Chain A
Amino acid sequence: MPKSLTIDPHEARQRSLLRAPDIPVNTYLSDPGAEAERFSSAELVNVYHDMRLIREFELVLDGFKKAGSYRGIQYNHLGPAHLSIGQEAAAVGQCIHLGPEDFILGSHRSHGEILAKGLSAIRALEDDCLLDIMENYMGGAALRVVESIDDFSDIESLAQAYLIYGTYAEIFARATGFNRGMGGSMHTFFPPFGIMPNNAIVGGSADIALGMALFKRINRKRGIVIANIGDSSVASGPVWEAMNFAAMDQYHTLWDADLGGAPPILFNFMNNFYGMGGQPQGETLGFGMLARVGLGVNAAAMHSERVDGYDPLAVADATRRKKEVLLAGQGPAMLDVITYRYSGHSPSDASSYRAKDEVEMWREQDAIRGFGSYLCANGHADNSWLESIEDAIVDKITGIVATAVDLDRSPRLHVAKDEIGTMMFSNERADALDDRGPEVTQPRAESRFEVTSSKHRFGLDEGGKPFPKLKTLTYAEAIFEAMLHRFYQDPTMIAFGEENRDWGGAFGAYRGLTEAIPYHRLFNTPISEAAIVGAAVGYALAGGRAVPELMYCDFMGRAGDEIFNQMAKWQAMSANALRMPLVLRVSVGMKYGAQHSQDWSSLVAHIPGLKVYFPATAYDAKGMLNQALRGTDPVVFFESQRLYSQPETLFAGGVPLEYYEIEEGEPYLHRPGSDITIVTIGAALYRALEAADRLRTEHGLSAEVIDARFLNPLNYEPIVQSLRKTGKLLLASDASERGSFLHTMASNISQLAFDFLDGPVAVLGARNWITPPAELDESFFPGADWMIDIIHERLLPLPGYQPRTRQGVAEIMTRNRAGI
């Protein structure tokens, strides 16, 4: 909480009434005369064209899924096809007033939105700009194919065919698709036209869209961002978190006024009245009308209103007005756009949850037919013209679909060449993601770096005695130095999370940054872990560098989808069209019981697409964070609360003042030895060193101690080399043993070094219990005693040694049988 904002008890305790604004419901009145003034006939006919094209586009998919054919073209489409037949007006109306610089993000049911936005952008972009995009996107792969289909008379026509082909090819998993087939039906997108990721997780686009809106506001970019999400998603946590995050007061009270206010985001609920088969209105939720939800978020009620999504011009009008509000910095905005899908949730949907009559009633009000009648009635077109438009669309689509299903002209990826593997990470290095100078509030030399740079860089004096802690650089301060460096290098870099600013991060790593970095680059968020990570994902995808923080590793569960499905996936799902320069700092707790002391590094290491770092010393903390902050990949950066106050005591040179990076994936050999190897992850390193000392003095054994430092990527070579020498390996960390990443390491090493092994690889983790109170720490986390005991029991019986704890292999059987 910033000191500048006072909570006055007199004010807080004042008796009063809260009054809410009215929520407009379907207030748009069609006025053909006014509409003819606002739009040319050609523009209005385009609305019809676009709706009709979307309808035909999806009829193709409907035909393939239900009958395996469309107009004589046979195709068996294996993947999903969530159709929006019936919802076309809501999609097309939204894009009438959008420019290419405006972003839309969608859901699993977004084919219509993709095409509407694409068609709108094509009309707005100049020919040479369009050509440039098509030539350069994915090396022009889709353009080559499209050019072979027809002699297109003009660039706009070519670009439309390109849009249709690229989308089909993507849905059919072709290497020529917009995302080389890696996105598919539910994730097709095309950033050059402002079509950003569509998300198959319900509501998944909300917080990502917020992140993109933050990117636009913080980096002073043009345009707004629209999250097209379903009506039932409003009840999902991340959507609610994103709406509140988007409505924070600080955009107006604390951020520089010249930035322009709140992030320009429109939460656009495509309200088709069904969440799969459940009915939010009347059955599964209680809002009565979705638009009411805006009342719960801020005083402006998110400028919420219900709009008739069966009138494209009503949708266009509402979207235009919201866009004005957003550009004025008064967001967030919310629209409850009512619409209806005639098709089921998916091809397998038998529509058992709704009456046929209901579908028929909506069909009778079909928006495309209705808008056609409107055009004819008001002299913008006649029936034959509309028919000729329809014929042209069918012809065009038929030719494109035939090409898109043809495996010779539209091949799939060469999976044998590991092409998907090479997409998982971008592995690029970038000092800055924009050319402009960084916005800071202090010269770097006057920042707290002045204090940290004057401290001892190594924790021990020449005699091996520790320097006073306050005069020695700590692990937390090493993190500060790496953050500070990148803040002054990369103008796009922002950091946020709970208590990140005045508090300096819950554990003080950001102490001093508050004075150096302006609000919009370092800010406190609501306690909304999902939106913290989700917003960072959106910010990174939009082109900025984001450093969100989770105060405790245990809170990762609150951001599960954002870490596992969003942060990890989008680089590969975009076929590397997008980057994910995101470093998620996660603090592993201690002494705080069962919900604040867990090391979950194994969970993220399991998820493909994430890099996982875990430094155990101040030197590594700075060097590894420097490495992460210059990359373009998503990194989960674990820190340990056991270590924040620790100075560097292992790397003899201490923590360098100047910039340096630790090579990614390289374990570090802290102590050479010849009899046994101990490899650790995280703070267990220090207990391994203690065990090594005792093995030497009490048992005459020489133990080699290696800190893995990285979970992914990880170079196993140094560990295998060590085993060539010792033949015996103990792996240890503070993560609970069952399912620990150590077991992955053990399995890999057993295969890589089988012939060198003098015993099975021993894995030592924390117990498979709840973390007990701090007073019982020793019963739960592996200590030096346990390490020596397990060596004695499983690898190398020590003559005359009496183990203090039970670590024999029989324990594996007993504990697993009991499930603990």
Chain B
Amino acid sequence: MPQAIVMPKLGNTVESAIILTWHVGVGDPVETGETLCEIETDKATVEVESSASGILLARFFEAGDEVPVMQNIAIVGREGESFDLLSPVSAAPAEHVTPGESYDHSDGKPDEEVFISPRARNLAARKGIDYNEIEGTGPDGRIIERDIRALIDQGVKMSPVAKAMLESGEYQIADERAVDKRITKSDLTPSSPAASPELKAIPLTGVRRTIAKRMLESLQTTAQLTLNASADATSLQDFRARLKSSDDALGLRGVTINDLLLFAVARTLPAFPELNALYVNDRILKHSRVHLGLAVDTPRGLLVPVIRGADALSLRALSYEAKRLADACRSGDIMPDELAGGSFTVTNLGGLGIESFTPILNPPQVGILGIGSINLKPVERDGAVAHVAHIGLSLTVNHQVVDGAPAARFLAQLCKNIASIDLLLAL
């Protein structure tokens, strides 16, 4: 029996993944557990292992293809075995309904036919909408007027060919194009940048594409307000120095300034539940625990793993977990579920010399704290000007549900806690 290898479902929210590289060619022998290919979801890169031993009889997709989860991607079996029925194209042979047989209306729609109401068809024709690729929301999946209206509301109307050409990055929409007309192949010209040898077009895939989408969504769907402050970093620096010189057996030498700040945030947030919250469907969901998102810069782009129950972790445990997650992100071993479920996020550009910036929310979270660099700040002390080390803090909140004053109160308390981080550790 030939065995089908399926695209694994990597977490509850993952619907498809992109094949990055194949490690085995058709005709090659494979063993159970051997890596067949690497795939990338919007959150992680994963290796797909063979679930059988034998010869790789077929690969149904090429590197770069996006494949729905649970779809057959390859076949392992003995030389010469037939696997036609396992091919994703023929997996569901069309049932032929003959007169006299019982007729099940819901299954009567052949895959390739598109059912659409006359009204929806006319509207689509008038507006130059292509409806061949959409799922209807009418009875039995019929495309009805509201489906076409939804497409119109989404904006530009274009033919599937034109859409694919635009997505390749090698074409752009010609300037002299009739407004209000559907964009077709004839409306596209080769992109002038692509025509230039100096520029290289790189299509967005995987993480980059997700970032692109989510960042734009974040700014389009929330009302972001950023507050800047700085906290006295004297204790922070002193305490960090003591940790660094502590007994190696204590396992505290690797604790960083950033870990201390994560600790301060995790211990301050419980008193401000309106910031440790999600805003979903006109409802505020306040978290009883702090699941702290941690922005990690990786070669593939920004990833945000989540430290679960951060408010209950000791400084050392917190530090270990942050390091483990960051390493997993950088190596690509992070699991998709570890990238989800945060209640608040911390992002740190201080190490790169940035004093302050405007962090972008990670919806549906309502708060994100940006950490800047440590700089000397002139302060009045005993009637004279003294220069004291201060660390920059930039808090962005969703003003839809969090007003400026409570956000400021949180930030002020955080500054206080950072300034006396040693006392906070004693609590």
A residues in contact (CB < 8 Å) with B? 727, 754-759, 793-797, 808-810, 813
Contact with A along B100-135 (1 / 0, CB 8 A): 000111100000000001111010000000000000
> How far apart are the CA atoms of A216 and B106 in the complex, in Å?
67
Q: Which of B61-69, B137-145, B152-160, B296-304 contacts A (4 or more CB under 8 A)?
A: B137-145
Partner of B105, one of A754, A755, A759, A810: A810
Given A794-B139, A810-B104, A810-B106, 10 further pairs, Cβ under 8 A: A754-B118, A756-B118, A757-B117, A758-B117, A759-B139, A759-B144, A793-B139, A796-B138, A796-B144, A808-B105
Main secondary structure of the interface of B (DSSP, over half): helix
For A810, list chain B residues within 8 Å (CB): 104-106
For B122, list chain A residues within 8 Å (CB): 755
State whether B105 touches A813 (Cβ < 8 A): yes
B interface, size bucket: 10 to 19
B residues in contact (CB < 8 Å) with A? 103-106, 117-120, 122, 137-139, 142, 144-146
For B118, list chain A residues within 8 Å (CB): 754-758
State whether B139 touches A809 (Cβ < 8 A): yes
For B145, list chain A residues within 8 Å (CB): 727, 758
> How far apart are the CA atoms of A756 and B104 in the complex, in Å?
28
Q: Known contacts A810-B105, A813-B105; is A758 also within 8 Å of B120 by CB?
A: yes
For A759, list chain B residues within 8 Å (CB): 117, 138-139, 142, 144
| B311: min CB distance to chain A, Å | 36
> How far apart are the CA atoms of A813 and B122 in the complex, in Å?
29
Identity of the chain B residue whose Cβ is nearest the Cβ of A750 in the assembled complex: B118
> How far apart are the CA atoms of A758 and B144 in the complex, in Å?
6
> How far apart are the CA atoms of A190 and B120 in the complex, in Å?
59
For B103, list chain A residues within 8 Å (CB): 813
> How far apart are the CA atoms of A759 and B106 in the complex, in Å?
16
State whether B105 touches A727 (Cβ < 8 A): no
A-B contact count (CB 8 A): 43
Partner of B138, one of A797, A808, A813: A797
State whether B137 touches A797 (Cβ < 8 A): yes
> How far apart are the CA atoms of A810 and B106 in the complex, in Å?
9
For A808, list chain B residues within 8 Å (CB): 105, 139
> How far apart are the CA atoms of A795 and B140 in the complex, in Å?
10
Q: Known contacts A758-B145, A809-B105; is A797 also within 8 Å of B139 by CB?
A: yes
For A757, list chain B residues within 8 Å (CB): 117-119
| A784: min CB distance to chain B, Å | 20
Sample of 22 A–B contacts (CB below 8 Å): A727-B117, A727-B145, A754-B118, A755-B119, A755-B122, A756-B118, A756-B119, A757-B118, A757-B119, A758-B117, A758-B120, A758-B144, A759-B117, A759-B144, A795-B139, A796-B146, A797-B137, A797-B139, A808-B105, A808-B139, A809-B139, A813-B105
| B347: min CB distance to chain A, Å | 37
For A754, list chain B residues within 8 Å (CB): 118
> How far apart are the CA atoms of A809 and B137 in the complex, in Å?
16
For B105, list chain A residues within 8 Å (CB): 808-810, 813
> How far apart are the CA atoms of A793 and B146 in the complex, in Å?
16
Identity of the chain A residue whose Cβ is nearest the Cβ of B106 in the assembled complex: A810
For A793, list chain B residues within 8 Å (CB): 139
For B146, list chain A residues within 8 Å (CB): 796
For B106, list chain A residues within 8 Å (CB): 810
Identity of the chain B residue whose Cβ is nearest the Cβ of A759 in the assembled complex: B117
| A56: min CB distance to chain B, Å | 62
> How far apart are the CA atoms of A754 and B139 in the complex, in Å?
18
- Highest count of chain A CB atoms <10 Å: which of B104, B106, B137, B145: B145
| A725: min CB distance to chain B, Å | 11
| B228: min CB distance to chain A, Å | 43
Partner of B119, one of A758, A809, A813: A758
- Highest count of chain B CB atoms <10 Å: which of A754, A759, A793, A796: A759
Identity of the chain A residue whose Cβ is nearest the Cβ of B139 in the assembled complex: A794
Identity of the chain B residue whose Cβ is nearest the Cβ of A799 in the assembled complex: B137
> How far apart are the CA atoms of A758 and B123 in the complex, in Å?
10
| B421: min CB distance to chain A, Å | 49
> How far apart are the CA atoms of A727 and B117 in the complex, in Å?
9
Identity of the chain A residue whose Cβ is nearest the Cβ of B103 in the assembled complex: A813
Nearest 10 Cβ contacts at the A-B interface? A758-B119, A727-B119, A758-B117, A758-B145, A758-B144, A810-B105, A755-B118, A757-B118, A759-B117, A756-B119
| B143: min CB distance to chain A, Å | 10
| B33: min CB distance to chain A, Å | 44
For B142, list chain A residues within 8 Å (CB): 759
Identity of the chain A residue whose Cβ is nearest the Cβ of B105 in the assembled complex: A810
For B117, list chain A residues within 8 Å (CB): 727, 757-759
> How far apart are the CA atoms of A797 and B143 in the complex, in Å?
11
- Highest count of chain B CB atoms <10 Å: which of A758, A796, A809, A810: A758
> How far apart are the CA atoms of A757 and B138 in the complex, in Å?
13
Identity of the chain A residue whose Cβ is nearest the Cβ of B140 in the assembled complex: A809
| A567: min CB distance to chain B, Å | 40
Identity of the chain A residue whose Cβ is nearest the Cβ of B102 in the assembled complex: A813
- Highest count of chain A CB atoms <10 Å: which of B118, B119, B146: B119
> How far apart are the CA atoms of A793 and B144 in the complex, in Å?
13
For A794, list chain B residues within 8 Å (CB): 139
> How far apart are the CA atoms of A809 and B103 in the complex, in Å?
12
> How far apart are the CA atoms of A795 and B146 in the complex, in Å?
11
| A505: min CB distance to chain B, Å | 46
For B120, list chain A residues within 8 Å (CB): 758
For A795, list chain B residues within 8 Å (CB): 138-139
For A727, list chain B residues within 8 Å (CB): 117, 119, 145
For A756, list chain B residues within 8 Å (CB): 118-119
> How far apart are the CA atoms of A809 and B106 in the complex, in Å?
10
> How far apart are the CA atoms of A808 and B104 in the complex, in Å?
12
Identity of the chain B residue whose Cβ is nearest the Cβ of A793 in the assembled complex: B139
| A419: min CB distance to chain B, Å | 37
> How far apart are the CA atoms of A756 and B126 in the complex, in Å?
13
> How far apart are the CA atoms of A520 and B220 in the complex, in Å?
83
For B139, list chain A residues within 8 Å (CB): 759, 793-795, 797, 808-809
> How far apart are the CA atoms of A71 and B218 in the complex, in Å?
103
| A724: min CB distance to chain B, Å | 9
For A758, list chain B residues within 8 Å (CB): 117-120, 138, 144-145
